[in-house]
Structure 1
Amino acid sequence: MDIVLPHECAGCGRGGVRLCAHCRRTLRQPPGRTYARLSPPVPVWSFGPHAGPHRGVIIALKARGRHDMVEYLARVYTAGLTYLAARGELPEPEELVLVPAPSRRSARAGGTADVVAQIADRTQIPVAHCVGYRRTVRDSVGMSLAARKENAQRNLVIRGELPAAKPVLLIDDVITTGATLQTTAMRLIAEGVNVVGALTFSAAG
């Protein structure tokens, strides 16, 4: 059957299964606080380091077309939000509006739609697609910390109506230096948006 319809674990590459039991157990861990070199002015949580199954799933989704992981990650994010609400760290999920962090075109597989936005739309939590990057934004690979920050600040734009009635949670797939989340949070706060935190799938660096 694998010859006709090949399946492999999105987390580790093991054959014969879309996501193996070991990777499921690893990805089931609740989110914890994480910190970046450019820390946003709000708390940031992550489900784990950008390694092992966390890294594998992101690569499978963005570079290998494993769009079956979108629905799975939507459930992971929703469960994480419920966990953080139960701990009193965030409002209940239904009280939030999710704002997907802007992504560079180079971060998308083959020019496909923004996977973070796709994941947010599958959570059944209200979503505001209100921030983005100009086409002039550069790939941040190899940039210094200061250059990453300037690149994000110069190219971030507000698109569409800002959520004003509910607290906002930023979501992203990977946090590295924190430049994108810091810039996004500060810009939205300056516009009067009540940003209460950010949740990422993994944390690099």
Structure 2
Amino acid sequence: MRCIPPLLASLALLVSACGGAPQTSERGTRIGMSGDDTSGSGGAAASAPPAVAGSVELALRLPDGAFIDVGELRGRPVMLFLFATFDAVSQMMLRPLEAFHAAHPEVDLIGVATQPDARLLIDAYVHALSPSFPVAYDPEESLPGDDTVLGPIEAIPALVLLDARGVVVARRYGFVEPPDIEAMLGAAH
């Protein structure tokens, strides 16, 4: 009898739990775009302020192959949720992040899978859990680590907040309580 690795079994269970069909959320997954932006320019991307010292330049890939260039989101705060698909604490963070995302449309929230071979796992993760915010991965696999474009990333899950200039202004590790997520936003203003 063949043994199925626990991670693959977990993913299979997650996908089968949602029927295996793609789920759509009520909220779109376009980044940098307020609800009244009809220009098609992606909102902040067209008028992103120039880079300043310490601003983050990071290209993330979505499951469909499209890229999110974090540098193009300058002009709005960006919250990066660094997680691992198999991590229980990362999964527990989804509920408070969904509430934060609904309450703060002025903040771009992006999930970033930070495990080896994340590209192979995030499509199933997105289909199983249907987060209202986009989920991507770093194709360079440079996150987490001691010397990243986001500074040292010591643990997963992590929340990293960039202000409108694209500079890291706050970070938290592990399960972050909803009031603490809200308090992070104060650092961006």
Q: Scaled by the length of structure 1, what TM-score is found? A: 0.28
Q: Scaled by the length of structure 2, what TM-score is found? A: 0.30
